[in-house]
Structure 1
């Protein structure tokens, strides 16, 4: 998916495959939930002043990637009203997070937060560093991006079903499943 800001900044995110080379735990049914469901996410970003960087890293689990599309749709819907509360979505791997806040009806600010392996190469890398890429977008553009994302994710079903409750990235709680 691609999300373009009014000021020329943009981010492209795309799953490009399952994470290769991960050895299963000694007992695949015994505990390491999600070891088999990490997706490599390709990132291509540009700041408003033209600085760019790209990389691919196992940033999201399949379930989280699918939930991200719903979260983006939810933020676009929230932008239809002017009084929506700011929202945040975080994932198991902490190198990517998204925040949103409604600026005015049908316009919102989406902040894509990069950290750890996802930081731009020009940044110093202390363990707490976060680079916020701020995008000002319309609700319609966010819906289009969410639909692109869902289409990308449809190619990557979970490889197996876990018997453990999955973490809901929208609430950061476990849910029965």
Structure 2
């Protein structure tokens, strides 16, 4: 799935299950390694991390559709931080709506820990969800991204 407004872009794709062999543990059997490439005026980087369970990954498409429909509310700073609307077990990725007008929605793609920019990893790392990329997208682009994401998840059904 590609989210891009010409200035900022985030590409996300499920790469594989973290553990190729089913062991009967619903957690271990369903971790997906998500690959990402990010481009901002600050720099470019990529990551690959087991950060979404199969069921969590499926909620991303629903969230994108909700953002397009206007049912996901705009959220702002909370105690000086920007928190995503869609939270997952691993706090590596998150999504939020920063603004909305008649023509487009500005979504926030939160990138923490292994998905954070390289210059914010290690000792210089900010708190969870503090780094985010704002991307301005029209309704059609959000719906297209939801469809792309769902297609990319087809090879990865829930395994337990």
TM-score (norm 1): 0.75
Name the CA distance, whole Å, in 2 between partners of 1:85 and 1:143.
17
Counterpart residue number, 1:53: 45
The 3-state SS of whatever aligns with 1:140 is helix
Q: Could you report, residue by residue, the CA deviation over 1:81-138 in whole angstroms, capped at 9, with x for unpaired residues?
A: xxx6226111111111100144212411100111111111011225546311111111
1:131 lines up with 2:124 in the alignment: no
TM-score (norm 2): 0.83
Bigger helix share = 2
The 3-state SS of whatever aligns with 1:54 is strand
Name the CA distance, whole Å, in 2 between partners of 1:23 and 1:54.
28
1:85 lines up with 2:90 in the alignment: no
- Count of paired positions: 148
Name the CA distance, whole Å, in 1 between partners of 2:55 and 2:129.
26
CA change 1:148–1:23 in 2 (3 A) is: closer
The 3-state SS of whatever aligns with 1:57 is strand
- What is the RMSD computed on CA atoms of the aligned residues? 2.2
Name the CA distance, whole Å, in 1 between partners of 2:68 and 2:29.
31
Name the CA distance, whole Å, in 2 between partners of 1:52 and 1:94.
21
CA change 1:146–1:21 in 2 (3 A) is: closer
Bigger strand share = 1
Name the CA distance, whole Å, in 2 between partners of 1:102 and 1:154.
31
The 3-state SS of whatever aligns with 1:89 is coil
Question: Which segments of 5 or more consecutive residues in structure 2 lack a partner in the other structure?
Answer: 76-84
Larger radius of gyration: 1
Counterpart residue number, 1:165: none
